[in-house]
Structure 1
Amino acid sequence: MSLIDKKHGPVFTVWFGPVPTVHITDLEIAQNAMIKQGANFVDRWVPLLFTLPRNGFGLITSSGKVWQDHRRFSQHTLRNFGIGRNIIEEKIMEEFNLKFDEVDRQIQKSGCHIVDPQPLVEVLVGSVINRVLFSESFDNSNDYFFVLKENLNKSLSRLTFLDTFVYKFMLSFPFIRGRYEEILKPFYQLKDYFRNQFQQRQVPILHAPITNLLCAGFSKARVESGKHVLEGEGRDYVDAYMIKMMEEMKGNQEETTFTEEALLTNLLDLWIAGQETTTMTVLSGIINLLNYPEAMDKAREEIKRVTGNNRPLSLLDRPTTTYFNATITEIQRLASVVNFNLWRRSSENSNVGGFTIPGGTTIAAQLSVLLSDSDHFKKHNEFDPSRYLKEERLDQHVVPFGIGKRSCLGESLARAELYLIIGNLLQRYQISAVDELPSREPMTPNGVVRKPKPFLFSLFKIM
């Protein structure tokens, strides 16, 4: 995309078979379209690959009333459960301490510990989002979690840009159908896992869809053991959703968009987005810190000074950790987890960068190009947190969570996780590469997502 941008300018069309797709690679033009004209660029153009496991539901691919209702509900619910507030810090730090207790025990035995960070970070981040959704954590004994994650990792690694332009008639070819079935299998497995979690809250003798339960007079006595009480806001996202369904039923909302299938698809989107992107960003951040030890040491020294090195780093420290804030921004910029962004569909004619874009056009702002724009980020491949301290408002050009009305719902949670996990890791441990520095090149440079290559690092306790 960046090569096309240099040749044809910041707004250009790429034809994928019969589908013309418009791409924006300039931040100001993207913001003008997606924010100032935001209502015109809310709906999605959805590839078959993303449609099959979602059936028009979910927070990522839905449009119209389904998307509006569930976006509004999810924003409200996540805010109530502490996303964007300090309440979420307690959950993140509880999981951080639990997951690193075993690391500390190993360090006590041998003085240092060599770690494959991927499963460690996956179970930590997975536990945080799972607590928000289901009030349950994971640990190393959760074999099924690691099976799900391994299958999902393989699927995402196989996924390429061209897979998004497979059409339904192509599934009649055995090779293409078989490839799609393998890629999508983990997504259906995840939905089955969520369905099982959900059904554990239903009356054992009924095992009926939630709509039937509501019709039968659903009450808090029918939720297992009183663990999940369907009143107020509930304890987690699933509770809140069930309460919302009860309200819709009482109000005789025959056209309600709140259904069991919609819930399961929301959970799929929230779990994958809350798990995959943050995990890959943390791993990419560790790789860059190991490759740029001066930046790592400078961030650590600032954290030690701000905390007095006698307490964990807290979200309340953000105003005084100027260099570390810049470090997190640079980690996000270089992680650039999504190689290309999902398209939106314009609802009416509009002007984008001086071009008339007809209604019904497939269009997207390509964040990966924006995050590597050499006009704003000199030596853009280098890890340099100080660039944000030298140039005022440069950080505003780092937009990893998207632009406009369809920007990432979990932005506040992800920012909190990155700050607390990486910050407390640096404060608590001296980390170093094993044998050789980990590669900064992604394992899947041409995939839908940029997964970091596997690596090991050693930890030595310093706090």
Structure 2
Amino acid sequence: MSSDLTHFWCPGALLALWCVSGGRGLLSANGENWAEMRQFTLLAFRKMGVGSGLIEKRIMAELDGRCSELDAEIDKNGKVTVSVEFFDLTVGSVINSLLIGKRFDENSKDEFLKIKKLFDDSSETFNIFDLNVPVWFLKWVVPWRFNLTWNARQNILTHVGKEALERLEKLKDGTYDLDSEDPKDLVDCFLAKMRSENEKGQDGHPGYTMDSLKLVLHDLWLAGQGTTATSLYVGFMKLVTHPSVVLKIQKELLKITEGSRNLTLQDRPNTPYLNATIAEIQRFTSVLNVNFWRINAEEISFRGFQVPACTMMTAQIGALHVNEQYFEDPEKFDPERFLRNEKLLQQLIPFGIGKRSCVGEQLARSELYLVLGNLLLRYDIRAHGTLPTNMDVFPYSSAKLPDTSGKFEFRKIRKM
């Protein structure tokens, strides 16, 4: 199938991704180019410390910065009101720092929140209808839907691409130098790789271009920000309505830290209840309702059906996580289900499975553990006013979108 024909009949699920990327990047890429970019990203993340103590330092530095703002308010008023913006900024700063070396502070957070608002607005209209109709239909029959999604993606591209382009110019005029052994961020990793491939001439890989870099940054920023922040927000929505769960977590954390140090990634083996709670939060949240469309490379047999090669298919992950065959009473928030039956963890796939699983899984798991655990270690957290039900407000969208109007009250936990 030619690329032009694929573009013309591309279903709405790929409209922004394909139109923006032309099949490059990570989310909408396929074949050898996708494999190359995925391998590069995994190696770059490893070089920057994802999966080691280095990423823990990045996450904790950001969390400490946000908590210092909370503490200043608590010192004045005895408590502070926290909204979804806190989780958005915390997670957004970590991924932004990892990708382009910049955190969001008072001078730049408005830019981030503007982009986040555009993305949220586009997500609200991105549903089963968009997943199945051709791009040309959306573009010409309901252009407002097409433009809403297109503009959100373009704004993310502009944001992440600006730093990359500025750094390339500095490399050219000699005001910036790359250290391939100690990269500042993913931009440094990519520019070093791009220079290396260019030096090989015709033997170099053609995928290392500035356009590809912007698309890789776009896909990682998009995937790494919203899902983790939403999981944290919904997690605290569930926790404040289940105080017994909070008490069990805090008891477990105080036992291993003695209330005198931060929770670290090395503590994971000793925090089974916190681990189970995070798993239940991810099961309940299940942010990606329907996975991205995939095309099978060869004919497959599935439950007696023969599926020919080049068939477009997807997985409804949200349905898997409420399957009563595996999760008894799935509407109930029950972390202990994972303690009663540890095999249930194998049925939980918030990051997908196989070759196309989330490339940022290790980063997301580290953020969820460190942010949620250390906040519960530091603060007494309660609901501020009446909380929304936190049910999916757009049940037919491609992603679960909770009502984010809920707020929390944080008070410092007195040291014993």
Q: TM-score, normalised by structure 1?
A: 0.83
Amino acid at match of 2:87: V
Secondary structure of 2:313's counterpart equals: strand
Q: Are the equivalent residues in 2 in contact too, given 1:58–1:265 (CA < 8 A)?
A: yes
Alignment partners' CA distance in 2, 1:384 and 1:46: 33
Q: Are the equivalent residues in 2 in contact too, given 1:99–1:139 (CA < 8 A)?
A: no
Alignment partners' CA distance in 2, 1:370 and 1:94: 36
Which of 100, 106, 124 is the equivalent residue of 2:73?
106
Whether 1:234 and 2:183 are equivalent positions in the alignment is: yes
Distance 1:126 1:223, change over 3 A: farther
Deviation for aligned residue 1:111: 0.8
Q: Are the equivalent residues in 1 in contact too, given 2:387–2:407 (CA < 8 A)?
A: no
Distance 1:166 1:222, change over 3 A: farther
Amino acid at match of 2:266: L
Q: Are the equivalent residues in 1 in contact too, given 2:138–2:145 (CA < 8 A)?
A: no
- Once the two structures are superposed, residues 232-255 of structure 1 have per-residue CA deviations (whole angstroms, 9 ceiling, x without a partner) of 352211111011111111111365
Secondary structure of 2:382's counterpart equals: strand
Report 1:26-105 matches (<5 A). 47-105=14-72
Distance 1:177 1:254, change over 3 A: farther
Deviation for aligned residue 1:223: 4.4
Deviation for aligned residue 1:64: 1.0
Whether 1:200 and 2:166 are equivalent positions in the alignment is: yes
Distance 1:135 1:47, change over 3 A: closer
Deviation for aligned residue 1:307: 0.8
Which of 383, 389, 408 is the equivalent residue of 1:457?
408
Which of 94, 97, 113 is the equivalent residue of 1:128?
94
Which of 303, 326, 329 is the equivalent residue of 1:376?
326
Q: Are the equivalent residues in 2 in contact too, given 1:49–1:163 (CA < 8 A)?
A: no
Whether 1:153 and 2:120 are equivalent positions in the alignment is: yes
Secondary structure of 1:47's counterpart equals: helix
Alignment partners' CA distance in 2, 1:254 and 1:242: 14
Distance 1:286 1:365, change over 3 A: same
Deviation for aligned residue 1:395: 1.4
Amino acid at match of 1:188: Q
Instruction: Find the counterpart in structure 1 of residue 6 from structure 2.
Output: none
Tell me the percent identity: 34
Alignment partners' CA distance in 1, 2:168 and 2:14: 34
Whether 1:365 and 2:345 are equivalent positions in the alignment is: no
Amino acid at match of 1:120: F
Alignment partners' CA distance in 2, 1:46 and 1:171: 11
Alignment partners' CA distance in 2, 1:347 and 1:328: 35
Q: Are the equivalent residues in 2 in contact too, given 1:60–1:269 (CA < 8 A)?
A: yes
Instruction: Find the counterpart in structure 2 of residue 243 from structure 1.
Output: 192
Q: Are the equivalent residues in 1 in contact too, given 2:197–2:205 (CA < 8 A)?
A: no
Instruction: Find the counterpart in structure 2 of residue 222 from structure 1.
Output: 174
Secondary structure of 1:200's counterpart equals: helix
Alignment partners' CA distance in 2, 1:254 and 1:328: 43
Instruction: Find the counterpart in structure 1 of residue 5 from structure 2.
Output: none
Secondary structure of 1:459's counterpart equals: strand
- Once the two structures are superposed, residues 156-191 of structure 1 have per-residue CA deviations (whole angstroms, 9 ceiling, x without a partner) of 122212112232432563x51232012220110111
Instruction: Find the counterpart in structure 1 of residue 82 from structure 2.
Output: 115
Larger mean Cα displacement after TM superposition, 309-318 or 193-202: 193-202
Q: Are the equivalent residues in 2 in contact too, given 1:290–1:437 (CA < 8 A)?
A: no
- Once the two structures are superposed, residues 323-354 of structure 1 have per-residue CA deviations (whole angstroms, 9 ceiling, x without a partner) of 11100100111010011111211111122233
Q: Are the equivalent residues in 2 in contact too, given 1:134–1:237 (CA < 8 A)?
A: yes
Amino acid at match of 1:450: K
Instruction: Find the counterpart in structure 2 of residue 209 from structure 1.
Output: none
Alignment partners' CA distance in 1, 2:220 and 2:361: 12
Alignment partners' CA distance in 2, 1:172 and 1:162: 13
Instruction: Find the counterpart in structure 1 of residue 293 from structure 2.
Output: 343
- Once the two structures are superposed, residues 26-61 of structure 1 have per-residue CA deviations (whole angstroms, 9 ceiling, x without a partner) of xxxxxxxxxxxxxxxxxxx96334311211111111
Amino acid at match of 1:101: S
Amino acid at match of 1:308: E
Alignment partners' CA distance in 1, 2:337 and 2:119: 35
Alignment partners' CA distance in 1, 2:159 and 2:344: 42
Deviation for aligned residue 1:373: 0.9
Instruction: Find the counterpart in structure 2 of residue 5 from structure 1.
Output: none
Alignment partners' CA distance in 1, 2:260 and 2:180: 41
Instruction: Find the counterpart in structure 1 of residue 279 from structure 2.
Output: 329
Q: RCO (CA 8 Å, sep 6+): is it higher in 1 or 2? A: 1
Distance 1:256 1:452, change over 3 A: same
Instruction: Find the counterpart in structure 2 of residue 269 from structure 1.
Output: 219
Secondary structure of 1:393's counterpart equals: helix
Deviation for aligned residue 1:104: 0.6
Q: Are the equivalent residues in 1 in contact too, given 2:139–2:146 (CA < 8 A)?
A: no
Alignment partners' CA distance in 1, 2:305 and 2:256: 50
Q: Are the equivalent residues in 1 in contact too, given 2:161–2:217 (CA < 8 A)?
A: no
